[in-house]
């Protein structure tokens, strides 16, 4: 199966994926998920055989490239799509002038996943939308 990840203007599809994963599956409140930052972000969309299966949201905050809202539909997990989305996000930020660090808030259970992609834990555990997280960074 062919995986295709690209920058997209199809925010509605990204939001639908996030609704499925974060709101319906993980129980995140709509108020926590819908934060008003989508219009200022770059969105990545992963498609396999034409079907939307994952997305990520990228925000540039000075020297920091913030990777967030990384999600993959349950049926597509375990096949490297989350890693491919994260690598695409890092590749994007490497092209943005002035960005020196990629940062993300990893759900605690996913720390090992992001460490395999070169990220390191940067700070104590905290709660975000009722889920334990750690900030992680990758310096360029």
CATH assignment at residue 63: 3.40.630.30
Average pLDDT value for the chain: 95
C-beta pairs of 113-116 under 8 Å, 24+ apart in sequence: 113/82, 113/83, 114/86, 116/83
- What's the confidence (pLDDT) of residue 85? 97
The pLDDT score that the predictor gives to residue 130 is 86
Is the distance from CB of 93 to CB of 58 less than 8 angstroms? yes
**Predicted confidence band at 129 (pLDDT cuts at 50, 70, 90)?**
confident
Look up tokens 């934060």; give the residue: 35
Query: Does the structure show a pLDDT above 90 at 51?
Result: yes
Q: CA angle, 70 as apex, 94 and 67 as ends, to 5°? A: 35
Query: How far out from the chain centre does Cα 56 lie?
Result: 4
- Residue range 39-54: mean pLDDT, rounded: 96
pLDDT tops 90 at residue 31 = no
Total domain count for the chain? 1
Percent of the chain with pLDDT over 90: 88
Pick from 14, 85, 2, 15: which is nearest to 48 by CA?
Answer: 2
Domain limits at 74? 3-139
Give the chain's length.
140
What is the predicted pLDDT for the residue at 9?
96
Here the tokens at position 44 are: 């990545």
Per-residue pLDDT, averaged over 3-32, amounts to: 94
- Condensed to tens digits (0 to 9), the pLDDT of residues 73-94 reads 999 999 899 999 999 999 999 9
Q: What sign for the dihedral angle of Cα 27, 18, 94, 91?
A: positive
Residue closest to 38 by CA, chosen among 55, 24, 21: 55
Q: Which pLDDT value is given to residue 2?
A: 87
């Amino acid at each position: 199966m062919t995986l295709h990840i690209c920058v997209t203007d199809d925010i509605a599809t990204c939001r639908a994926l996030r609704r499925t994963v974060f709101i319906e599956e993980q129980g995140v409140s709509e108020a926590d998920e819908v934060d008003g930052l989508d219009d200022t972000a770059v969105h990545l969309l992963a498609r396999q055989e034409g079907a939307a299966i994952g997305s990520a949201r990228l925000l540039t905050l000075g020297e920091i490239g913030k990777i967030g809202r990384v999600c993959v539909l349950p049926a597509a997990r375990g096949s490297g799509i989350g890693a491919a989305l994260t690598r695409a996000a890092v590749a994007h930020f490497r092209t943005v002038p002035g960005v020196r660090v990629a940062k993300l808030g990893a759900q605690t259970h996913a720390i090992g996943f992001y460490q395999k992609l070169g990220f390191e834990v940067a700070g104590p555990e905290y709660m975000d939308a009722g889920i334990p997280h750690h900030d992680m960074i990758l310096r360029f």
